[in-house]
Structure 1
Amino acid sequence: MSPTNGIRRRAVGALVGATALGLTLTACTGSGSGGGDASTLVVYTGQAGDYQINFNPFSPSRIGGLGTIYETLFFHNKAQVSDPVPLLGTEQAWNEDGTVLSVTLRDGVKWSDGEDFTAEDVVFTFDMLKETPSINAGGFDGTVEAVDDTHVTFSFEEPTFVKGPDLMNTPIVPEHLWADINPVEDVIEEPIGTGAFTLKEFKPQAYTIEANADYWGDEPKVKEVRFISLSGNQAGADAIAAGTIDWQTGPIPDIQNTNKNFPNYEAFTQWQNQMVLATCSNADLGCTGPQTDPAVRHALYYALDREQLNNLAFMETANEISPAFTLTPSQDQYLTPVVTELSAPERSLADNAKESLESAGWALGDDGIYAKDGERLSLTVEVVTGWTDYITAIDTMASQAKEAGIELVAAQSSWNEWTEKKVSGNFQLAMDSLWQGPAPDPYYLYNYFYSSASGAEVGESAGNNYSRYDNPDVDAAIDELSTLPLDDLAARQEYFEKIQGAIIEDMPYVPVLTGGTTSIWNTAEFSGWPSGEDLYAFPAVWSAFDAAEIFKRLEPQG
């Protein structure tokens, strides 16, 4: 596809171009960090409205701590294929048949309250996950044992190669504190971890983490990181213009000329997260509304004009998306013959949308909106207040969908309310994105979002599969894939074909576009940011484990 069609071909770590949003901005000449201590990094994650304190690393409403406070055994770089970075673990190895993973732990590590970190903490964490399905996002179903203080083994009844990265990416918590904690319901206000940072201060408008002087690794040169709350993307752009924040991942006007407009800043984009209209899809589990009909979901898929959407909502920084949710081009090898459309249509196919609806018994009403059994095809789309790009996207999609006889209505709420609606199943549609796993392989996305193991009845807390999709054939194929080595493509393809055929037919998540994740960061005040030459982490401030690695690499220049 050419750059002129509005959907840009993916290229790792590129500076991006975009159209201006119509705001008048002047060059920024002030200091980063709001003119404060040059060793304090001020970041904006997109938090709109006050923070509600919660540093429970397993809670969907957590506000932070992953990677910075709570460490994993290894860090897996989602941005490119590379060796895992040792953290609490130093070595890992599977046995030949993929049933036992042996991990050597780092010696001499202490929790930030001074207690020793040992293998028993690892055993406790994974036993807790196994006993609590709603937080067991990686689907751990094995046995973990402490060989001694610095060695653990994970054992499985069947080959489980693919679960290795998820196991190594699990935050480890201290047994001596968490033995009396409810990991689903409890809010953690004073987090204790092994990471390079500890919590210094919390306020609803901002919280600050500070460098851990007793960290097992090199103490970070960035002494404090302050996470601030603003009113949304517009406020984030204004803060860049004022020079009061050092890093945000989100849109600003005229991204192409970021450094010209703001000499202290650069823009950097990578394509990875896939935007969707997620649906509460499963009527058998209590979902209600027109979106429970697959024909409606397919109609939405064809109604969208993605070229126009990219122009109006995403400043042409988004990219094409596969209906099978394999990233293009890095995961094209995993596409199977069942995928007849390699990418979602760029332009609206309203006739296809109408055909899908009418074949399922929907009839066009006098008001131009389809109806069936007395129910109008009107759908509410949940979105977070202040997410201006998503709000613009929904407004644009509403206009497009109307041409196909579908009414879309946006409902804005706080991030906490939006999350609660998804988790509990109290929604029809939600504008969101599906994320990649720890390795560049579609298995992880399928396991996260399509496995019935992380679904739940409406009213109960779901895991990643908040669409509540439940297909035994997909579950079985995911299970089979978990037994095969990641590099055995020939053996894996038949299971990818089963999954891709089913999820395209059922479409619980309607593909929109692959979002261009753009960070704006202060290169005058801090060095060490990821680049095309050294993409050591996925460059997004809200991608917690990646951001934690970036915080450790940065060096103040003041």
Structure 2
Amino acid sequence: MSKRAVYEPMMVANLAKGDLVPWLAKSFEWSKDGLTLSFSLNDGITWSDGKPLTAADVVYTFDLSRKVLGDATYDYVDSAKAINDTTIQFTFNRAYTPGLYELGGMLIVPQHVWKEVNDPATYQNPDPIGSGPFTQVANFSAQSYDLMRNPNYWQSDKATYGGIRVIAYGGNDAANIAAINGDIDFGLGFIQDIQKTYVDVDPEHRGYWFPAVGSTISLSLNTTRKPYDDVNLRKAVSIGIDRDAVAKRGMSGYTHPADCTGLSDAYNSWRDADVVAACDWTTYNVDAANALLDKSGYPRGADGMRTTPAGDPLTFDIGVGSASTDWIAVAQVISDDMKELGIDAPLKVQDWSQINQALFGGTYNGNIAWGPGGVTPYEWYRGAMSCKTVKPVGEEATQNFHRFCSKKADQLLDQFAAATDGEQQHAIMDQLQALYSELAPTIPLFPGPEWGAYNSTKFVGWPSEDDPYATLSPSGSSTVLVLTTIHPRD
């Protein structure tokens, strides 16, 4: 939350509604050929030290991102230029419509501060200067710190309260206890039976909203290793998973089973009903799963356990972080289901740092995993199937952990990115959904809930299903919308 309280983007992505909200920028414009994208900033924006925020700061932020993250960052951009104090023009080397969301979502930093920093990648930034509503650090400790109101906030009529306190908890249990005790206004993660344990304690003031618009959570099998590179194996495993039990027992009913598009509810407007209707590999059917394994060369021995075509035991572990009690429950459901297929799939529960080292480095067999998100499904499918996102084993991956490559997916992704017509984009996205269903690069389990609960004893105006102006997650892309909408109770 603190990062988005201090620094702001030109456009805010609200996954709850699947749209972009103008923020630092009041508008954007594409050239007819799709090779130039211009943003127009609002007038009178200042940094927290009172200096003006201009187009030069946006260009500097763009160049700094490339310097720190590498030239491959925003590789579709040839140049960024400040036309005047409020107009930024990005010139592309190819038509790439997702650039709107990527460039618009950059958190802008002040050039006059960061140009003096010798090593931006390691800079601790003890006294941040930002454009956001809360920028003044106070009462800093290892457990919590306060961010007081930006005295020069450019939206003077918003976020008029004194500040926010950011508290670090060691895990879900500690945070949940604090919330139940009434010590948290905004936050919370997974908690069993939230209605009973949290809301019913004070139903007049407490509520929650868990829209299933986060990244789809999947069982990821490492496709660089045999036999997990076999689509029939992946589909058989998928058919053998009771997703209703995953959602109800593992996730306490806070979400629902995924379908074979792999899309979360953030992309309902993109979902191809024909692909969903034709799919059978995300429907629980133990007999069909066993039949597919038999047909695909995974024989069952006298002990009931299967072997690979090479004669090795058919097994994979399910990696999951020890702090994620909900995902551990999900993994246990899957592990139990695999016994009905003759597959040994034990849980591998470790600290997330250990799990992520194997997951990101491609040295795992199976893992509970996630994928990238955005305003459209482009980022999800790019992270699931694009050859351009595949990293060599041992090199850290930030997406496509399963290291799956489809040249056809790349062709469709490029076509989608170049298309400027909405109808054309939807037609291409239908093809991507069909391809994902054909290839099953990951085994989608459920759309991830965007966790969020509130206590309105002190503040009101929280987002909800009836008023989805943002998600209720304190770590979401739309957090600044929440911070600038809530206000103290009268």
Cα 1:380–1:131 change in 2 (3 A) is farther
**CA distance 1:367–1:201, shift in 2 (3 Å):** farther
Contact 2:270 2:426 in 1 (8 A): no
Q: Aligned pair 1:369/2:305, yes or no?
A: yes
Aligned to 1:261, which of 186, 189, 201? Answer: 201
* Structure 2 match to 1:3: none
Which amino acid is the alignment partner of residue 172 of structure 2?
A: N
CA-to-aligned-CA distance 1:468-500 (integer Å, 9 cap, x gap): 22211111110110111252x2x2355334422
Decide whether aligned partners of structure 1 residues 328 and 111 sit closer, same or farther in structure 2, where only a CA change above 3 A counts.
closer
Identify the residue that residue 221 of structure 1 maps to in structure 2.
160
- Is residue 384–residue 441 contact of structure 2 (8 Å, CA) maintained in 1? no
The answer on 1:501 being equivalent to 2:439 is no
Question: Matches of 2:357 and 2:138 in 1, distance apart?
Answer: 28
Letter in structure 1 aligned against 2:239: Y
- 2:399 paired residue number: 464
What is the match of residue 529 of structure 1?
Answer: 462
2:171 to 228, 232, 245: 232
> What corresponds to 2:21 in structure 1?
85
| Among 209, 212, 215, the residue aligned to 2:150 | 212
Q: Does 1:306 align with 2:240?
A: no
Residue type of the partner of 2:32? E
Deviates more, 1:548-557 or 1:101-110: 101-110
1:363-420 Cα distance to aligned partner (Å, 9 max, x none): 3245433222353232222222222111111111110112112222323344444444
Contact 2:321 2:349 survives alignment (8 Å): yes
Aligned partner of 2:88 in structure 1 is 152
1:117 partnered with 2:53: yes
Q: Where do 5+ consecutive residues of structure 2 fail to align?
A: none
Structure 1 vs Structure 2 CA RMSD: 3.1
Distance 2:61 2:258 in 1: 36
Higher relative contact order (CA 8 A, sep 6+): 1
1:442 to 360, 369, 377: 377
Task: Report the alpha carbon displacement of residue 128 of structure 1 after superposing the two structures with TM.
Answer: 4.4
Q: Is the 8 A contact 1:73 1:88 kept in 2?
A: yes
Rate the CA distance shift 1:129–1:430 in 2: closer, same or farther, 3 A: farther
Partner of residue 243, structure 1: 182
Deviation at 1:143, TM superposition (A): 2.7
Distance in 1 (alpha carbons) for counterparts of 2:461 and 2:303? 57
Cα distance in 1, alignment partners of residues 393 and 114 from structure 2: 28
- 1:430 maps to 367
Give 1:111 deviation, angstroms. Answer: 3.9
Superposed counterparts of 1:87-102, under 5 Å: 87-102=23-38
Change (3 A) 1:73 1:388: same
Query: Please, what TM-score do these two structures have when normalized by structure 2?
Result: 0.86
Please name the residue that 1:21 is paired with: none
Pair 1:555–1:442, CA change in 2 (3 A)? same
The residue aligned with 1:550 is 482
Distance 2:173 2:194 in 1: 14
Q: Secondary structure at the match of 2:210?
A: strand
Identify which of 109, 112, 123 aligns with 1:173.
Answer: 109
How has the CA–CA distance of structure 1 residues 262 and 382 changed in structure 2, closer, same or farther, with 3 Å as cutoff?
A: farther
Contact residue 123 and residue 144 of structure 1 kept, 8 A: yes
Shift, 1:170, TM fit: 1.8
Q: Give the conservation status (yes or no) of the 8 Å contact 1:336–1:493.
A: no
Mapped to 2, the partners of 1:164 and 1:306 lie a distance apart of: 35
> Please, which runs of 5 or more residues in structure 1 have no aligned partner?
1-63
- The match for 2:79 is 143
Count of matched residue pairs: 483
Code of the residue aligned with 1:248 in structure 2: it is G
Once the 2 structures are TM-superposed, how far is the Cα of residue 278 of structure 1 from its aligned partner? 4.5
1:164 equivalent in alignment to 2:97: no
Identity percentage of aligned residues: 25
- C-alpha change, 1:447 and 1:131, in structure 2 (3 Å) is farther
- Taking the aligned partners of 2:278 and 2:34, their CA distance within structure 1 comes to 35
| 1:225 match: secondary structure | strand
The equivalent residue for 1:26 is: none
CA distance in 2, matches of 1:208, 1:410: 39
Shift of 1:129: 4.3
1:305 Cα deviation after fit? 0.5
In 2: Cα distance, 1:318 partner to 1:137 partner: 34
1:351 deviation in Å?
2.8
User: 1:44 is matched with which residue?
Assistant: none
Q: CA deviation at 1:146?
A: 1.5
Question: Aligned partners of 2:421, 2:354: CA distance in 1, in Å?
Answer: 38
* Deviations 1:275-295, CA, capped at 9 Å, x for gaps: 433435342xxxx46434333
Shift of 1:241: 2.1
Find the aligned partners of 2:418 and 2:16 in 1 and give their Cα distance. Answer: 25
Amino acid at match of 1:357: L
Instruction: For 1:319 and 1:193, locate their aligned partners in 2 and report how far apart those are by CA, in whole Å.
Output: 39
Structure 2 distance, partners of 1:524, 1:193, is 29
Residue 269 of structure 1 aligns to a residue in which SS? Answer: coil
Amino acid in structure 1 at the alignment position of 2:401: Y
Counterpart residue type for residue 445 of structure 1 = W
Aligned equivalents of 1:137, 1:351: Cα separation in 2 = 47
Cα displacement (A) at 1:181: 6.3
How much does 1:551 deviate? Answer: 1.8
Matched, 1:479 2:414: yes
Q: Take 2:108 and 2:163, find their aligned partners in 1: how far apart are those partners? A: 23
Q: In the alignment, which residue of structure 2 is the partner of 1:43? A: none
Q: Secondary structure at the match of 1:291?
A: coil
Instruction: Say if 1:137 and 1:448, in contact at 8 Å, map to a contact too.
Output: no
CA contact (8 A) 2:240 2:289 kept: yes
The residue correspondences of 1:411-430 to structure 2 (distance < 5 A) are: 411-430=348-367
Question: How far apart are 1:554 and its partner, in Å?
Answer: 1.8
Structure-to-structure mapping, 1:373-388, within 5 angstroms: 373-388=310-325
Match of 1:20 in 2: none
1:324 correspondence with 2:324: no
